[in-house]
Amino acid sequence: MELETYYAKRAAEYEKIYHKPERQADLARLRNDIPALFPGARVLEIACGTGYWTPLIAEQAESVLALDYNEETLAIARTKKYPRANVQFLQGDAYALPPWPRKFSACYAGFWWSHVPLGRIDGFLQGLAAALEPGATLAFMDNRYVEGSSTPVTRRDAEGNGYQTRRLADGTTHEVLKNFPTAGQMEKRLGRYGSAVRFTNYQYYWLATCRIMAA
């Protein structure tokens, strides 16, 4: 539960990561590119965190169900402005999604893939695909590793997962799982569950999309 504890404690300072000057050009592009994926869609947002992307997606989507494990981050996400009143929030586990009566036509997960242990990726994707209708848009966005801007990876485990040592404003240090997949790795993995896989590299981030195939 180290990751969940870390993000619960980090909730109040989480969005400082978006203030890095060198990343502003990328973020400006992503604030356009990500919402453009979801016009009129019924979106499931995995690991919504403090809701930085949620209002942007909600501007284009029919509806958004934003899920996160921590109530501390959800409390902040709920304070954002949603003028179309088309967003709902749910505390839940991305590895154990509930059975919704209607499947979603799209899914977005920002800064989530890098925290999924390599051995749990397929199980997570299988559960996620079950919540999406055939042809649904699936999009992941996450960090690229950039020397001098990214936190260094301090160790790797036997499975190949990387870990960073991070310090919070309260002085506590936390070891956080953080993987940096290549375009080829993402294309191969998403290709098991979707078609029309596309991987886009930005300077500091990447964006991967596909269309979910019928089960």
Residue 45: the pLDDT is 98
- The pLDDT assigned to 190 comes to 98
* Crossing angle of helices 183-190 and 121-130, rounded to 10°: 50
CATH architecture of 2-212: 3-Layer(aba) Sandwich (3.40)
pLDDT of residue 12: 74
Say if strands 173-177 and 87-91 run parallel, antiparallel, or are unpaired: unpaired
For the chain, what percentages of helix, strand and coil (3-state, to nearest 5) are there? 35, 30, 35
With 0.75 as the threshold, say if the pTM is over it: yes
How is the chain split into domains, by residue range? 2-212
Report mean pLDDT in 10-residue bins for the chain, 215 residues.
65 85 97 98 97 98 97 96 98 96 97 98 97 98 96 97 93 94 97 97 98 87
What pLDDT is recorded for position 170?
87
Are the beta carbons of 138 and 212 closer than 8 angstroms? Answer: yes
Cβ-based neighbours of 134, under 8 Å, separated by 6 or more: 212, 213, 214, 215
Q: Considering only CA atoms, which of 11, 9, 33 is closest in space to residue 205?
A: 33
